[in-house]
């Protein structure tokens, strides 16, 4: 009916405007995209810093007496993708006798942070047996791989030199570029586009959804209590049905949450597309090259973020919206039963428990998105708004499961709003002591 609709609209409008006006909303809305962008841009910032640092990062102690060191340094520079002019490896040619001494010097330099580490080239290295490496994060897999590869390139160059190849020709061999891998993984259903970066993004998004639902739920709770305690609700329900008031509040709060999410998504997209402007193309190219060489895994974040399909974003927003409706109704129902903020904390415990349980399951779902637990939780209405997006981000969820999950959630929202409406009708006029569960049951099931 048009009349009810315009009154519902008045309630939605009030809830929306009063919330959007708050300082808290402004701050949190701006903060999140900045955080997201910071995570994605971190490698860019690091690269920029690295380029400026003057200390040689790796010392090469060459005791081979055959000039292996310079080739290794050249190759290392290519592998690390630092620009051609700045060879950041410092080669020290020593005799086998003074190796122990040079090693000690280098150790103390690393200890004083004048270098990151040092590579020791000796006769065993010439034979292709072993190469010594010491430094900070000496167990870093990618660092080790980089060093082993550069030593191998150095050995190749040395053998080419012995074979009589000219110096420029050798240099062009050693400095052959490393291509960027464009990986496509294949799973049971064909192409899969999972990357670890995707898992990280899914986790962060899930966490944001969880936080948003908790915050807006609590916000709803205190709104209802304020309305009840200030007795405004009695005036309102003398004009509209309690169910209309409830629906208006839930829709209003959901709209606020949705606004914030849209600003978050929009802001993140905007910042990412502005990255060239912010950091300059060379830094981005460097970061991409470094990422390809395995040096900076977190650069994949940016790539994954850029590659996030819009269909997923839309689905996340829809799920979030439904999740807010669902939890909003539950929180409102709790609010209607209590007489004070202190009571509320206790009464809201079961609802909070559902949310916390869901949050606990975020990490197991990321690790094993096809487990029975993850599948079940992506179906249940209290957890699906958070769990389903994770599964969809990192694995191929069968369409039937997505549809079923959405259908269950929509029905549950209707159920929750109906139930909350019943509680609202009686609860809003109850002041004083908190009702028992049996009483609440009677409110729901008797006219």
Ligand X SMILES: Nc1ncnc2c1ncn2[C@@H]1O[C@H](COP(=O)(O)OP(=O)(O)O)[C@@H](O)[C@H]1O
Reading phi first (left if > 0) and then psi (alpha if -120 to 50, else beta), residue 368 is in beta
99 near ligand X (CB under 6 A): no
229 near ligand X (CB under 6 A): no
Residue 40 burial (CB count, 10 A): 23
Secondary structure in 3-state letters for 386-429: HHHHHHHHHCCCCHHHHHHHHHHHHHHHHHHHHHHHHHHHHHCC
430 near ligand X (CB under 6 A): yes
Question: Is 23 strand, coil or helix?
Answer: helix
263 near ligand X (CB under 6 A): no
- As given in the structure block, the two tokens for residue 107 are 């150790």
- Of all residues in this chain, which one has the CB nearest to ligand X in the complex? 429
What distance in Å separates the CA atoms of residue 330 and residue 33, rounded to the nearest whole number? 29
Q: Which stretch binds another protein (CB under 8 A): 5-13, 55-63, 144-152, 309-317?
A: 5-13
Residue 48 burial (CB count, 10 A): 15
Q: Which stretch binds another protein (CB under 8 A): 9-17, 309-317, 388-396, 398-406?
A: 9-17
Nearer of residues 39 and 429 to ligand X, judged by Cβ = 429
Q: How far is the CB of 323 from ligand X (least distance, A)?
A: 33
Q: How far is the CB of 426 from ligand X (least distance, A)?
A: 8
What distance in Å separates the CA atoms of residue 81 and residue 177, rounded to the nearest whole number? 9
What distance in Å separates the CA atoms of residue 37 and residue 158, rounded to the nearest whole number? 45
Task: Calculate the dihedral angle through the C-alpha atoms of 326, 269, 256, 423, rounding to the nearest 10 degrees.
Answer: 10
The residue from 108, 142, 172, 239 that contacts another protein (CB under 8 A) is: 239
Q: What is the CA radius of gyration of the chain?
A: 31
429 near ligand X (CB under 6 A): yes
6 near another protein (CB under 8 A): yes
Q: How far is the CB of 340 from another protein (least distance, A)?
A: 15
Nearer of residues 236 and 334 to another protein, judged by Cβ = 236
Q: How far is the CB of 428 from ligand X (least distance, A)?
A: 10
The residue from 72, 106, 236, 325 that contacts another protein (CB under 8 A) is: 236
- Taking residues 188 to 227 in sequence order and writing x for each that binds another protein by CB under 8 A, - otherwise, the string is --------------------------------------xx
Residue with tokens 């850029």: 306
Residues that bind ligand X (CB under 6 A): 429-430
Residues that bind another protein (CB under 8 A): 1, 3-4, 6-7, 10-11, 14, 18, 226-227, 229-232, 234-240, 429, 439, 447
């Amino acid at each position: 009916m048009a009349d009810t609709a315009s009154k519902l609209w008045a309630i939605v409008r009030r809830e929306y405007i009063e919330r959007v006006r708050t300082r808290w909303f402004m701050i949190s809305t701006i903060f999140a995209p900045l955080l997201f962008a910071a995570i994605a841009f971190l490698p860019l910032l690091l690269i920029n810093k690295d380029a400026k640092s003057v200390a040689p990062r790796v010392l090469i102690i060459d005791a081979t007496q055959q000039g292996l060191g310079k080739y290794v340094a050249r190759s290392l520079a290519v592998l690390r993708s630092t620009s051609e002019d700045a060879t950041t490896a410092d080669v020290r040619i020593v005799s086998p006798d003074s190796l122990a001494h040079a090693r000690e010097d280098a150790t103390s330099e690393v200890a004083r942070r004048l270098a990151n580490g040092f590579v020791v080239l000796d006769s065993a290295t010439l034979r292709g047996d072993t190469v010594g490496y010491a430094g900070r994060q000496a167990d870093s897999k990618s660092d080790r791989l980089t060093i082993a590869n550069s030593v191998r390139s150095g050995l190749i160059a040395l053998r080419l030199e012995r074979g009589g190849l000219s110096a420029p020709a050798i240099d062009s061999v050693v400095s052959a570029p490393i291509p960027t891998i464009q990986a496509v993984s294949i799973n049971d259903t064909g192409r899969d586009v999972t990357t670890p970066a995707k898992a990280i993004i899914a986790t962060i998004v899930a966490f944001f959804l969880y936080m948003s639902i908790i915050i807006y739920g609590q916000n709803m709770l205190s709104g209802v209590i304020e309305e009840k305690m200030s007795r405004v609700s009695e005036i309102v329900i003398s004009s509209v049905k309690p169910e209309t008031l409830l629906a208006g509040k839930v829709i209003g709060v959901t709209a606020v949450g949705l606004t914030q999410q849209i600003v978050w998504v929009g802001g993140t997209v905007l910042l990412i597309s502005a990255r060239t402007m912010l950091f300059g193309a060379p830094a981005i190219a460097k970061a991409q090259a470094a990422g390809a060489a395995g040096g900076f895994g977190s650069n994949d974040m940016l790539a994954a973020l850029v590659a996030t399909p819009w269909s997923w974003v839309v689905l996340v927003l829809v799920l979030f919206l439904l999740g807010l409706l669902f939890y909003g109704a539950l929180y409102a129902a709790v609010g209607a039963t209590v007489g004070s903020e202190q009571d509320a904390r206790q009464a809201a415990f079961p609802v909070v428990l559902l949310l916390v349980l869901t949050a606990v399951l975020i990490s197991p779902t990321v690790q094993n998105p096809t487990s029975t637990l993850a599948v079940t939780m992506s179906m249940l209405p209290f957890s699906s708004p958070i769990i389903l997006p994770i599964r969809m981000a990192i694995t191929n969820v069968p369409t039937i499961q997505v549809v079923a999950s959405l259908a269950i959630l929509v029905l549950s929202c209707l159920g929750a709003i109906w139930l909350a409406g019943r509680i609202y009708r009686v609860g809003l006029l109850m002041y004083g002591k908190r009702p028992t569960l049996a009483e609440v049951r009677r409110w729901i099931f008797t006219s």
